[in-house]
């Protein structure tokens, strides 16, 4: 980013979470830099899209398991949540992510079988490999993906974050269950992977560092999803939201 502005600064600027002096400073740089202005506009478009996607969930309460995690975690006093933002759909998403992230950051990271399986799949060739043409309609692979993991899913579109689907690997496990890995590449050929299989256990949202990568685990009653890439925390949050919603919407 130019002038010492990083993604966290831009997200805070867009959300109105900066003090007046810092906001004015960033606004001046955005107005003077067309590339930076396009970046801000892209983030604003993504935010509007997430509001639209999550609109049906606005009045739904957080799952009981997550509320129990909040009560048990006792986050440090210095970590404050911008309660003035609560009430909007975007703030609900941010609050959910902050609460769960605070909980998991307050305790040592424990080994997770699906995370290790996903990272092993990322590091080694295996399964049935499907190359994806640059001009292909990625949804043509949705049927094979759905059949493998025994759940109706779509192929997430991550191009808003600069990542294009490059390949798919389909795995048959010894238990008879299937799994899949979707590999995305950005303009600098950086890899972002999305590992899927049927869910086992309680709902979970977790984000942490493992093997030099930013990893996000997002599990509901049907799917376990592990996302991994060399990205920032803010970028992972946006990629995870796009990927998770793109699987079913």
Q: Which residues of 66-100 are buried (b: 16+ CB within 10 A; e: fewer)?
A: beebeeebebeeeeeeeeeeeeebebbbbbbbbbb
* Together in a domain, 215 and 95: no
Q: Which of 53-57, 80-84, 167-171, 202-206 has the lowest mean pLDDT?
A: 80-84
* Residue at a domain's end among 73, 105, 137: 105
* Together in a domain, 149 and 129: yes
* Together in a domain, 75 and 50: no
Q: Which residues contact 203 (CB under 8 A, 6 or more apart)?
A: 63, 65, 66, 219, 220, 221
- For residue 197 the two structure tokens come to 């299989």
Res. 94: pLDDT tops 90: no
Q: What is the pLDDT of residue 106?
A: 40
Residue scoring higher pLDDT (48 or 110)? 48
* Together in a domain, 139 and 48: no
- For residue 18 the two structure tokens come to 């900066």
* Together in a domain, 50 and 63: no
* Together in a domain, 40 and 79: no
* Residue at a domain's end among 14, 37, 54: 54
pTM value is 0.60
Name the 3-class secondary structure at 236: helix
* Together in a domain, 243 and 121: yes
Q: Which domain holds residue 133?
A: 113-248
Query: Which band of pLDDT confidence, cut at 50, 70 and 90, is reported for residue 54?
Result: low
* Together in a domain, 156 and 208: yes
Q: What is the pLDDT of residue 61?
A: 60
Query: Which band of pLDDT confidence, cut at 50, 70 and 90, is reported for residue 87?
Result: very low
Q: Which residues contact 116 (CB under 8 A, 6 or more apart)?
A: none
CATH number of the domain that residue 158 is part of:
3.30.200.100
pLDDT digits (tens, 9 = 90+) for 152-202: 999 999 998 999 999 999 998 666 689 999 999 999 999 999 999 999 878
* Together in a domain, 193 and 136: yes
Query: Which band of pLDDT confidence, cut at 50, 70 and 90, is reported for residue 113?
Result: confident
* Residue at a domain's end among 66, 85, 105: 105
Q: Which of 59-68, 99-108, 227-236 has the lowest mean pLDDT?
A: 99-108
Q: What is the pLDDT of residue 202?
A: 80
* Together in a domain, 155 and 141: yes
* Together in a domain, 44 and 119: no
Q: What is the 3-state secondary structure (H, E, C) of 28-82?
A: HHHHHCHHHHHHHHHHHHHHHHHHHHHHHHCCCCCCHHHHHHHHHHCCCCCCCCC
Mean pLDDT of all residues belonging to the chain:
79
* Together in a domain, 136 and 79: no
Res. 74: pLDDT tops 70: no
Q: How many domains does the chain contain in total? A: 3
């Amino acid at each position: 980013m130019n002038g010492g502005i990083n993604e966290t600064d831009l997200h805070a600027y867009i959300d109105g979470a900066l003090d007046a002096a810092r906001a004015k400073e960033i606004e001046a740089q955005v107005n003077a830099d067309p590339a930076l202005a396009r970046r801000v506009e892209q983030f604003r478009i993504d935010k509007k899209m997430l509001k639209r996607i999550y609109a049906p969930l606005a009045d739904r309460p957080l799952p009981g398991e997550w509320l129990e995690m909040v009560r048990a975690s006792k986050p440090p006093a210095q970590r404050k949540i911008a309660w003035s933002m609560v009430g909007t759909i975007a703030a609900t998403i941010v609050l959910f992510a902050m609460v769960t992230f605070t909980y998991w950051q307050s305790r040592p990271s424990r080994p997770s079988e699906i995370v290790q399986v996903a990272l092993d799949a990322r590091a080694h060739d295996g399964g049935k490999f499907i190359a994806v043409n640059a001009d292909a309609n990625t949804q043509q692979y949705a049927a094979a993906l759905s059949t493998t993991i025994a759940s109706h899913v779509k192929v997430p579109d991550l191009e808003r974050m600069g990542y294009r689907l490059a390949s798919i690997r389909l795995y048959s496990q010894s238990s008879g269950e299937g799994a899949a890995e979707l590999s995305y590449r950005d303009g600098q050929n950086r890899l972002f992977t999305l590992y899927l299989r049927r869910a086992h256990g309680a709902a979970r949202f977790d984000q942490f560092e493992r093997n030099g990568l930013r990893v996000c685990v997002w599990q509901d009653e049907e799917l376990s999803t592990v996302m991994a890439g060399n990205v920032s925390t803010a970028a992972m949050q946006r990629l995870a939201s796009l990927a998770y919603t793109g699987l079913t919407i």
